[in-house]
């Protein structure tokens, strides 16, 4: 379908975006208790820095990378450690979920967190082994997703769950939760459908070029939204845009540190890249991957310039959601990068905390002392956590 381009406002202090972060929850060689304890530390630090939200990706049956199969259990704990953050998934693999059980879990979190749940759903989770383990057929994932999405929406909007007289409805019921449903989609037709339904759009996969793929998808979403919504009404379209953001001493430092993480990431997604026809990624050097995967890295000024040149980001983003951690990074470095984003990078585009921050930060720098040797070492920079 052909979508009419819809202009989006340029972000300013008067039209701010919300600042979040996304983690894929890695932790090679660590026990699960350590991984989740450090993840709670990350959420608490973001809350103290004034972030508006924290998002996690759901992955199943992963040993070292992508270690959060039950995001809503974790986010219930995070709601206590991070009392201001919106708490979301980017994404929950809806194809593998029972939609009614998912609605129950998210509704409980929404009650615990006083209405801070953000439910992002998608049809795939990057690991086809999990589909086989759950008894799902990968090629059927979109049809299953559509069926589950309809059932999820019915539950969230308080519709009767059977045809019987006096049929039950979702309990607990959170009246505003359906308005915090997000979809991650890969083409303009599905984006327009999400817009017409009033859902938010999550986008930012490294396999989609910002200019030729992501921007048309966002514009199709906005066009679909305007077909069924009053532009002057109380509701507004929601685009959550994910970007890899890694400030470092310089681009060479980022490239050198990215090398091992890029190898891990590439091998982990080899089957997915092959199925999607992106086999060229399997042959690229680390430097080529930095460009091909649209990683914003280098000095703070270089990152700001790179983000400013991104054609599918500011002016569209209701949520700007950086990934600041990678497969091999540690939580202290991840927190330091969160600080740099919150204190230097995001303010360059008009963002400021909506509340007084409580975390005391040093002057933002991108070198930290190495533990045990007394020298200065560069930040570990990489792909995603």
Statement: residue 365 has pLDDT above 50: no
Confidence (pLDDT) at 4: 38
* Strand ranges inside 123-238, DSSP E: 181-184, 200-203
10 band by pLDDT with thresholds 50, 70 and 90:
very low
- Per the structure, the count of domains in the chain is 1
The rounded distance, in Å, linking the Cα atoms of 117 and 95 is: 20
The answer as to whether 277 is a domain residue is no
The answer as to whether 306 is a domain residue is yes
CATH number, domain at 161? 3.20.20.30
Look up the pTM and report it: 0.89
Confidence (pLDDT) at 369: 30
Pseudo-torsion of CA 341, 347, 349, 355, nearest 10°?
100
Residue 171 has φ and ψ, to the nearest 5°, of -135, 135
Give the mean pLDDT of 220-242: 96
> Element (H or E) spanning 51, and its range?
none
The answer as to whether 367 is a domain residue is no
Cis upstream peptide for 231 (omega within 30°): no
Residues 6+ apart with CB under 8 A from 324: 21, 245, 246, 334, 337, 338, 341, 385
The answer as to whether 12 is a domain residue is no
Q: What is the pLDDT of residues 241-258, one digit of tens each?
A: 999 999 999 989 888 877
The answer as to whether 310 is a domain residue is yes
The answer as to whether 218 is a domain residue is yes
The answer as to whether 56 is a domain residue is yes
Q: Which residue range(s) make up the domain with 22?
A: 18-252+293-356+373-378
Out of 17-26, 184-193, 248-257, pick the least confident: 248-257
């Amino acid at each position: 379908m052909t979508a009419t381009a819809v202009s989006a406002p340029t972000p300013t202090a008067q039209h701010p975006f919300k600042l979040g972060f996304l983690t894929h929850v890695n932790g090679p060689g660590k026990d699960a208790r350590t991984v989740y304890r450090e993840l709670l530390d990350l959420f608490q630090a973001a809350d103290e820095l004034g972030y508006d939200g924290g998002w996690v990706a759901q992955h199943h049956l992963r040993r070292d990378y992508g270690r959060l199969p039950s995001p809503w259990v974790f986010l219930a704990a995070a709601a206590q450690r991070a009392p201001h953050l919106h708490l979301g998934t980017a994404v929950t693999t809806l194809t593998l979920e029972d939609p009614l059980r998912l609605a129950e879990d998210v509704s409980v979190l929404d009650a615990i967190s006083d209405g801070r749940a953000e439910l992002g759903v998608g049809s795939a989770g990057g690991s086809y082994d999990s589909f086989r383990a759950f008894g799902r057929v990968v090629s059927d994932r979109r049809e299953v997703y559509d069926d589950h999405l309809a059932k999820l929406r019915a539950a969230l909007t308080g519709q009767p769950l059977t045809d019987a007289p006096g049929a039950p409805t979702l309990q607990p019921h959170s009246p505003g939760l359906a308005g915090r449903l997000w979809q991650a989609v890969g083409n303009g037709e599905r984006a327009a459908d999400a817009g017409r339904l009033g859902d938010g759009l999550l986008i930012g996969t490294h396999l989609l070029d910002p200019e030729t793929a992501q921007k048309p998808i966002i514009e199709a979403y906005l066009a679909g939204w305007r077909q069924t919504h009053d532009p002057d009404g109380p509701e507004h379209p929601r685009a959550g845009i994910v970007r890899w953001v890694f400030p470092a001493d310089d681009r060479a430092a980022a490239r050198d540190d990215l090398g091992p993480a890029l190898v891990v990431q590439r091998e982990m997604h080899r089957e997915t890249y092959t199925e999607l026809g992106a086999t060229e990624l399997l042959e690229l050097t680390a430097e080529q991957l930095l460009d091909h995967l649209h990683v914003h890295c280098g000095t703070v000024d270089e990152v700001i310039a790179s983000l400013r040149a991104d054609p599918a980001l500011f002016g569209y983003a209701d949520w700007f959601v950086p990934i600041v951690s990678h497969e091999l990074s540690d939580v202290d470095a991840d927190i330091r990068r969160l600080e740099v984003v919150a204190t230097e990078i995001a303010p360059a585009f008009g963002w400021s905390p909506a509340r007084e921050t409580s975390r005391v930060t040093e002057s933002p720098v991108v070198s930290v002392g190495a533990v045990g040797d007394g020298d200065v070492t560069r930040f570990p920079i990489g792909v995603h956590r």
